[in-house]
Amino acid sequence: MTRQDRLLQEDVHDPYFVKQKYRDPSVCEKCNVLFRNGVFEWVKKIPPNASKIVCPACRRTKDSFEGGIVALEGSFLSQHKSDILNIITNAEKAEQASRPLERIISLTDTGERIEIRTTYEHIARRIGEAVRKAYKGELKVHYPESEKYARVFWRRDHGR
């Protein structure tokens, strides 16, 4: 007799998730990230027998299909923009060290607002948290139900 009271987990739909594994080892022909032992990693030397692939992050970037979006706003932003841009760059480097597929797709600076589109939700959250840690302000992170996606909003005005 089998148990019928198990909780069923619905699949999260991600068009860039490959159901079958890549050949081991495989290397992305765009960014040189290596797939080995079931994970993507940065390596100094690519194995000569590595198959060629295009990794999910490069495919997302090419298709301009983000997995997260970060919006930074407020009067505080314009006076500290260069420092905040450095924080964003450092957060991306730190996230990529452990998760090579987490990348910034685009960064748009309109003067009053910075909008960052990312490949996946983890880096979006990490960028928002890094800016809040450095400059306080109000941070909101929203994960729409049943989606691998994050909307991150940070705002700080002077005097807050």
- The confidence score (pLDDT) of residue 18 equals 65
- The confidence score (pLDDT) of residue 14 equals 66
The whole-number average pLDDT for the span 75-94 is 95
- Tokens 């081991």 correspond to what residue? 24
Cβ proximity of 42 and 31 under 8 Å = no
Confidence category of residue 147, pLDDT binned at 50, 70, 90: confident
Q: pLDDT of 4-48, one tens digit each?
A: 555 545 455 566 766 567 899 999 999 999 999 989 999 999 999
Cβ proximity of 62 and 29 under 8 Å = no
pLDDT at 129 over 60: yes
CB neighbours (10 Å) of residue 63?
Answer: 11
DSSP string covering 4-49, please?
S-PPPPPPPP-TT--SSPPPSSEEETTT--EEETTEEE--SS--TT
Confidence category of residue 148, pLDDT binned at 50, 70, 90: confident
What's the rounded Cα separation, in Å, for the pair 157 and 76? 5
The whole-number average pLDDT for the span 119-128 is 96
Confidence category of residue 151, pLDDT binned at 50, 70, 90: very high
CB neighbours (10 Å) of residue 58?
Answer: 19
- The confidence score (pLDDT) of residue 6 equals 53
pTM (two decimals) = 0.86
pLDDT at 77 over 90: yes
Is residue 151 within a helix (H) or strand (E), and if so which, with residue range?
A: strand 150-155
